[in-house]
Amino acid sequence: MKNIDYEIDNKRRVVITGIGIISSVGIGKDSFWKSLISGKSGVDKITRFDPSNFSTQIAAEVNDFNPENWLNKKQIRRMDRFTQFAVSAAKMACDDANLVIDKDKDNFDIGASIASGIGGTETWEQQHKRLIEMGPDRVSPFFIPMLIINMASSQISLHFKIRGPIITATTACSASANSIGDAFEIIRRKKAKIMLAGGSEAAITPMGVAGFCNMRALSTRNDEPKKACRPFDIDRDGFVMGEGAGVLILEDLEHAIERKANIYAEVIGYGMTGDAYHVTAMDMSGKSVAKAIEFSLLDAGININEVDYINAHGTSTKMNDVAETKAIKLALKKNSKKVMVSSTKSMTGHCLGAAGAVEITACALAIKNKIVPPTINLDNPDPECDLDYVPHFARKHDVKVALSNSMGFGGHNVAITLKKL
């Protein structure tokens, strides 16, 4: 039997034509971007529950989200907060892309790839309380459909009546980077023309925070919340939980040109590896992350000297920041000293399964607006973290190629490459 040869020239080119973003620093791309380039932190005291008994009492909450702006009351009651975020961001992305989906058509060429790392934590806790206090008959019949992680993609499919590939990645904190990479591959391989891709997370709940607290993974800088997330700084003491959603419209380039869509950037590379090392800790050699970067650039056909900007995973944990720095050096070699690297988590907090989508959005906007967002709170650089992390202030630069790194518990590593069209 003759081998099938998938030549890159026969694959579709894929572009980003719409952005929907819900974050602690802004809802909608304009508010989000303005906050990033001005160095605004979204971290503050937790308000969604009383954190008094917790060692960590701060998080990057989305405080100005009103689901009624996008959903009716019946839909809201039947969706966990993470799904509300996802569907709302998807509607925002379609509006931004001027994409009108005809619900009377079959729409087998439009799909959704929406990730979450944890899913319906809030629903789980609320319904468990009802079980204990009121008995099993009082647990909501919508408990399971509200809880499960695939409901973000499913509810988007239901809302827009899209019948193409509907999938969900759940690779912890690299989940939405995987979801965007998977959507990119689906379009490239001509399985769809348009994909709504990204991720959503809403795990700032008592159980969510307690779990990470007891792992000693979170910052305890409770008296200085705006300064708590400080990637690559010698005084970093852990990550800050964030929440929100990012949904991108990924589209076949020819289709986008045909309908005269606004194009933010082209997606050109997808690389992923596994650490095979530990359930939570990173391999400190950085070699697996470096390979994910190399695979993404190889897929993109990009030379290491062409990379202008990297949006780092940059969690503000002792091990992660050092390991990622090593990985960038291994992958980019001498160019690692020239490339700009920043962690927007310093402002948004760590949005867990939604982090990759939020950060790929930042890369697309950096390309479109010719500005690199900063790493805030980088007051005393760690000597082991010795790259150009764009400290404190945004930097004007005509970004031609940007890379986004994502890593997740269990050893999931993902790198997505974008370029200016």
Catalytic machinery residues: 173, 313, 350
Task: Report d(CA 358, CA 345) in Å as an integer.
Answer: 9
CA distances from residue 44 to 210, 229, 236, 299, 373 in whole angstroms, order as listed: 17, 11, 17, 40, 21
Q: What angle do CA 248, 250, 252 make, to 5 degrees?
A: 165
Please state the φ and ψ torsions of residue 115, each to the nearest 5 degrees: -105, 165
Query: What's the first-to-final CA gap in the chain, in angstroms?
Result: 39
What is the spatial distance between Cα 343 and Cα 404, in angstroms, rounded to a whole number?
10
- Are residues 310 and 403 in contact, defined by beta-carbon separation less than 8 angstroms? yes
132 contact partners, CB below 8 Å, separation of at least 6: none
Give the phi and the psi of residue 227 in degrees, each rounded to 5: -105, 5
- Tokens 């620093």 correspond to 25
Structure tokens of 361? Answer: 């959005």
> Quick one: tokens of 240?
């800050």
CA dist., res. 165 & res. 104, Å (int)? 18
- Over 116-165, what HEC string results? CCCCCHHHHHHHHHHHHHHCHHHCCCCHHHHHCCCHHHHHHHHHHCCCCC
